[in-house]
Structure 1
Amino acid sequence: MIFQSRFWRNCIAAAFAATTLGGCGYAGDEDQVRVTVVEDGDARINPVGTRLNFASSTMRAAIAKGLVGLDEEGRVVPALAARWIVTDDGLSYIFRLFDTKWDDGRQVTAERVARLLKQRLSELRNSRLRYDVVAVDEVVSMTGRVIEIQLKAPHPNFLQLLAQPEMGLFRAGHGAGPMRLLSEENGIKLGQFDQPSQDEQDTAQEDDRWVSLRSEPAASAIARYRSGAVQVVLNGKYHHLPLVDAADISSGELRLDPVAGLFGLRFIRAQGFWAVPANREILAMAINRPALLTSFPGVSAWQSRLKIVPEALDVEGINSYPDWASMTMEDRIVFARNHVSRWKASEGPVVPLTIALPGAAGARILFKRIQSDLRRVGLDARMVSRNQEADVELMDEIAPYDSAPWFLKQFTCAKTTVCLNDADSKIAEADAATNLQIKARLYAEVENMLVDHYNFIPIAVPIRWSIARQNQRGFAVNPRGWHPLNPLVGIPIS
């Protein structure tokens, strides 16, 4: 570990040098904030489309409001809609719009918003929100500033769905704020949406609040922060944590969002030993979660998980924990070792489990822990990159809203080949149910089925970190893991 620490400190130092050469440190003021988003893959920022990376989602939310949005604390707030009501049966949401305009000066009308919203919902059927947008039955323009959204069945988290950045609306390429694009030189620069026109410059004072947005790999983002070139770093994940430690970021500046989601191993291929659910259960039993999580520096509060759906969303009377949850780690190891020995005696050797992971230091720490745990029970594992064939892949996804169905639908036959048709059928039955109590109980039954199937091995709650100074205006940790740009410079969403 001493060698690893030195290696990653050298990486940070190299990135720091490159960043410093690219521009001097920036003291700045609270009206001018520079933000960089950590992206492992394509770092381009393009707010158009349905499969947006984090940086693109951040930009879309800044320049294209939906009916509602999320504030810096992850709460649903008015955006295009000033207020709304929900009918008692939960099947109709009626919104009254603000009197506002698009970026090109045209009036925002209910008729146009309804048309754009229907188009966007259709587009999003090929996105991470695909299972939720199908709940919409109709979007109706009622008057000049009122629209109604009718649902096929109640969706208790529908406002949180509408607040997702993908639900922001463009009209002919124009959004309605809360910010507008100022320039794309040296990154994206966004400013106050309602700026005076050119002929008003003489009588109105120009608003000088702006946010610059860029995206880059974690090492460069951290180095840029340390040099003073940016004030906020967003979208850090577990596998970047060794870089944060090597950069000696203070605990007060490393911000961990209390998110909910899925962090664990999802089977995408089941062959030989791993084709049997009782054998996949051995993997779940063998992993020493507390030891694994404490291998990562600076995140002592990282919580382990044994079940799919968070306890807060459980249905009373339904126990979806695995049968071995109350066993000690020592007893689990003994049980698993005996099970593997009996299998090998009758069926022969077991091929190592292949695990697809990112090519990063944190991923290697995770793999070594899992491999060590498997070896203790007579099994082995091999790490491969995410573009290679594997038995399991690491899932590291945040739940966009508080919804048990979201967790369960990540393991349908549309998502992975290692699935249960019976579970899919029960999900469809639950989706169609109009009674919320019946709906919740059906979903809980699905979780029980998936727990016994072991096509997903929960490990922990996902990690999402940001870096920001403790007094950074408009920034707060929140359960959505979402950090809008406009509050950073005091620009309201509406």
Structure 2
Amino acid sequence: MMNFRSTFRRNSIFAAFAVTMLGACGFAGDEDQVRVTVVEDGETRINPIGTRLNFASATMRASIAKGLVGLDEEGRVVPALAARWIVSDDGLSYIFRLFDARWDDGREITAERVARLLRERFVELRNSRLQHDVSVVDEVVSMTGRVIEIKLDAPHPNFLQLLAQPEMGLFRAGHGAGPMRLLSEDNGIKLTQFEEPSQEEQDGEEEDERWVSLRSEPAATAIARYRAGGAQVVLNGKYHHLPLVDAADISSGDLRLDPVAGLFGLRFIRANGFWAVPGNREILAMAINRPALLTSFPGVSAWQSRLKIIPEALDVEGINAYPDWAAMTMQDRIVFARNHVSRWKASEGPVMPLAIALPDAAGADILFKRIQSDLRRVGLDARKVALNQRADVQLLDEIAPYDSAQWFLKQFTCMKTTVCLNDADSRIAEADAATNLQIKARLYAEIEIILIDHYNFIPIAVPIRWSIARQGQRGFAVNPRGWHPLNPLVGIPIS
């Protein structure tokens, strides 16, 4: 029998201890001075340089190093370095006209320099989460002092969303162009209004009193800091932190869930014995009682389950990628799966427990116990292992950076996992190269069917991304990108 109460009690004690330790951190703030803390499970150091940025580092980079475009608090693409742009009818050319602006050392921003920085950045990002996306760029050229053109090998309907990613923020010799600038690094990162140095010197304006402090820390500490009044906004919460939010008794109005798209499920990274057969991996997909699993988590009432890879909003009319058993009742699925496993054991022998790599967190324990219980009902078993231990499957919990079937399918190529299909990889390459958008979409839909039948990924739900912010917090809004820029929090425009 699963005992979740002991897990909650243990974390309640830990959260209460953390709140006590941070009890003296409260402050009387105003809307022009906002303290933000980012939840990080791993490295908490904030470093906006490089290609593999944690969430806090990406947040800082987007604050001090604009790209051509950016994302606002509602997840919409907005002008940044570029004042406006046009896209060619064939989708292969993007032409941007830049604002008249300067870097934070006072040097003028020119099309020639931006084009050079973009070329360098596209090369650097071939070793990042955006590696597949930047490969579509053929050429970047400066056309005049204020205009640049980006040419693509094939249409990328979501290219502006790609350019708005924080990794696309540009530094020139370490200098960004806002919308904020570094004020200090005492007791966390403090950022304030970006002003071009020449203008500041000329006008003699006083220091802008608007600022945002940014820090990153483990979930329990971040939640405790919020409870103690030491932070007004907490960002980047995930499913496995939810029991801590519940234990800290955070107001339901303060817990904000972003309606993100992405992948949340089990990706096979090793397949031996029973699990080497796609039809057997299908049994795992059938056995998981998704509604029961999702309702086991406190504080979430509308977590949506998933049975397929690509979100329904991106489906192609006339193509059904749902598994054949999708219409079966849960009880019928259990009976079918149990009989299948019994026949296998009778002919092939015992089945080793499925090794699932998960974080060391209360929410991950809930997830594991539910999956283990579901597998035991059909005659199988599972064991939880640490993220750095040998496993059969790992939990894939990622937000899609843009709205495209391409991103979802590329998480299951042979570059991502050894449990893959070369044929699917070839078909993905064919779809990427297609210039007709309808043909491209149909090819991606057909590839999804191939991957669904292969069962190297077992979808469970949409990802959970939560923040904590009081009602009426300026510049904060839940959004489908799960992205929350700092500058709107204190009323600083991006450009």
Shorter chain as denominator, the TM-score bin is over 0.9
Q: Deviation per CA, 1:257-301, whole angstroms, max 9, x where unpaired?
A: 000000000000000000000000000000000000000011111
Quick check: 456-465 or 197-206, which moved more? Answer: 197-206
User: What is the CA-CA distance between 1:195 and the residue it aligns to?
Assistant: 6.5
- Is 2:274 the counterpart of 1:273? yes
- Find 2:15's aligned residue among 12, 16, 20: 12
Q: Which residue of 2 aligns with 1:179?
A: 180
Q: Which residue of 2 aligns with 1:287?
A: 288
Give secondary structure in 2 for the equivalent of 1:383.
Answer: strand
Aligned-partner residue type, residue 364 of structure 2? A
Q: Which residue of 1 aligns with 2:459?
A: 458
Cα distance between partner residues in 2 of 1:97 and 1:328 = 57
- Contact 1:196/1:206, CA 8 A, preserved across alignment: no
Runs of at least 4 residues of structure 1 off by over 3 A?
195-203
Aligned-partner residue type, residue 116 of structure 1? L
- Is 2:131 the counterpart of 1:130? yes
Aligned-partner residue type, residue 427 of structure 2? K
Cα distance between partner residues in 2 of 1:389 and 1:205 = 58
User: What is the CA-CA distance between 1:365 and the residue it aligns to?
Assistant: 0.2
Aligned-partner residue type, residue 335 of structure 2? V
Q: Deviation per CA, 1:77-98, whole angstroms, max 9, x where unpaired?
A: 0000000000101000000000
Cα distance between partner residues in 1 of 2:352 and 2:437 = 45
Change (3 A) 1:66 1:195: closer
Correspondences of 1:20-59 after superposition (within 5 Å): 20=23, 23-59=24-60
- Is 2:71 the counterpart of 1:70? yes
Cα distance between partner residues in 1 of 2:367 and 2:117 = 44
User: Which consecutive unaligned segments of at least 5 residues does structure 2 have?
Assistant: none
User: What is the CA-CA distance between 1:199 and the residue it aligns to?
Assistant: 8.0
- Is 2:116 the counterpart of 1:115? yes
Correspondences of 1:403-418 after superposition (within 5 Å): 403-418=404-419
Q: Deviation per CA, 1:435-464, whole angstroms, max 9, x where unpaired?
A: 111111111111000000000000000000
- Contact 2:188/2:215, CA 8 A, preserved across alignment: yes
User: What is the CA-CA distance between 1:197 and the residue it aligns to?
Assistant: 6.8
User: What is the CA-CA distance between 1:3 and the residue it aligns to?
Assistant: 2.6
Cα distance between partner residues in 1 of 2:123 and 2:259 = 32
Cα distance between partner residues in 2 of 1:97 and 1:186 = 36
Q: Deviation per CA, 1:310-358, whole angstroms, max 9, x where unpaired?
A: 0000011111000000000000000000000000000000000000000
Cα distance between partner residues in 2 of 1:249 and 1:94 = 47
User: What is the CA-CA distance between 1:202 and the residue it aligns to?
Assistant: 8.5
- Find 2:5's aligned residue among 2, 5, 8: 2
Aligned-partner residue type, residue 96 of structure 1? R
Change (3 A) 1:436 1:388: same
Q: Which residue of 2 aligns with 1:354?
A: 355
- Contact 1:72/1:483, CA 8 A, preserved across alignment: yes
User: What is the CA-CA distance between 1:249 and the residue it aligns to?
Assistant: 0.4
- Contact 1:195/1:207, CA 8 A, preserved across alignment: no
Quick check: 194-203 or 395-404, which moved more? Answer: 194-203
- Contact 2:93/2:151, CA 8 A, preserved across alignment: yes
Change (3 A) 1:133 1:184: same
Aligned-partner residue type, residue 37 of structure 2? T
For normalisation by structure 2, the TM-score amounts to 0.98
Give secondary structure in 1 for the equivalent of 2:286.
Answer: helix
- Contact 1:178/1:486, CA 8 A, preserved across alignment: yes
User: What is the CA-CA distance between 1:26 and the residue it aligns to?
Assistant: 1.1
Change (3 A) 1:429 1:417: same
Give secondary structure in 1 for the equivalent of 2:37.
Answer: strand
- Is 2:368 the counterpart of 1:367? yes
Q: Deviation per CA, 1:165-197, whole angstroms, max 9, x where unpaired?
A: 000000000000000001111110000001667
Q: Which residue of 2 aligns with 1:319?
A: 320
Q: Deviation per CA, 1:46-103, whole angstroms, max 9, x where unpaired?
A: 0000000000000000000000000000000000000000010100000000000001
Aligned-partner residue type, residue 12 of structure 1? A
Q: Which residue of 1 aligns with 2:232?
A: 231
Aligned-partner residue type, residue 15 of structure 1? A
User: What is the CA-CA distance between 1:17 and the residue it aligns to?
Assistant: 1.8
Cα distance between partner residues in 1 of 2:259 and 2:469 = 16
User: Which consecutive unaligned segments of at least 5 residues does structure 1 have?
Assistant: none
Aligned-partner residue type, residue 452 of structure 2? V
Give the alignment's Cα RMSD to 1 decimal.
Answer: 1.2
User: What is the CA-CA distance between 1:5 and the residue it aligns to?
Assistant: 2.3
Aligned-partner residue type, residue 182 of structure 2? L
- Is 2:438 the counterpart of 1:440? no
- Is 2:201 the counterpart of 1:206? no
Give secondary structure in 2 for the equivalent of 1:102.
Answer: coil
Cα distance between partner residues in 2 of 1:12 and 1:382 = 27
Give secondary structure in 2 for the equivalent of 1:324.
Answer: helix
- Contact 1:286/1:373, CA 8 A, preserved across alignment: yes
Change (3 A) 1:341 1:144: same
Q: Which residue of 2 aligns with 1:384?
A: 385
User: What is the CA-CA distance between 1:400 and the residue it aligns to?
Assistant: 0.3
- Contact 2:103/2:196, CA 8 A, preserved across alignment: no
Cα distance between partner residues in 2 of 1:155 and 1:69 = 17
Cα distance between partner residues in 2 of 1:36 and 1:197 = 33
Cα distance between partner residues in 2 of 1:201 and 1:452 = 66
- Contact 2:37/2:216, CA 8 A, preserved across alignment: yes
Give secondary structure in 1 for the equivalent of 2:41.
Answer: coil
- Contact 1:195/1:206, CA 8 A, preserved across alignment: no
Change (3 A) 1:105 1:382: same
User: What is the CA-CA distance between 1:414 and the residue it aligns to?
Assistant: 0.4
Aligned-partner residue type, residue 39 of structure 2? V
Q: Which residue of 1 aligns with 2:242?
A: 241
- Contact 2:106/2:196, CA 8 A, preserved across alignment: no
User: What is the CA-CA distance between 1:27 and the residue it aligns to?
Assistant: 1.8
Cα distance between partner residues in 1 of 2:72 and 2:204 = 32
User: What is the CA-CA distance between 1:19 and the residue it aligns to?
Assistant: 1.8
Aligned-partner residue type, residue 190 of structure 2? K
- Contact 1:44/1:215, CA 8 A, preserved across alignment: yes
Aligned-partner residue type, residue 90 of structure 2? D
Cα distance between partner residues in 2 of 1:262 and 1:165 = 20
Give secondary structure in 1 for the equivalent of 2:303.
Answer: coil
Equivalent residues, number: 492
Give secondary structure in 2 for the equivalent of 1:137.
Answer: strand
User: What is the CA-CA distance between 1:24 and the residue it aligns to?
Assistant: 3.2
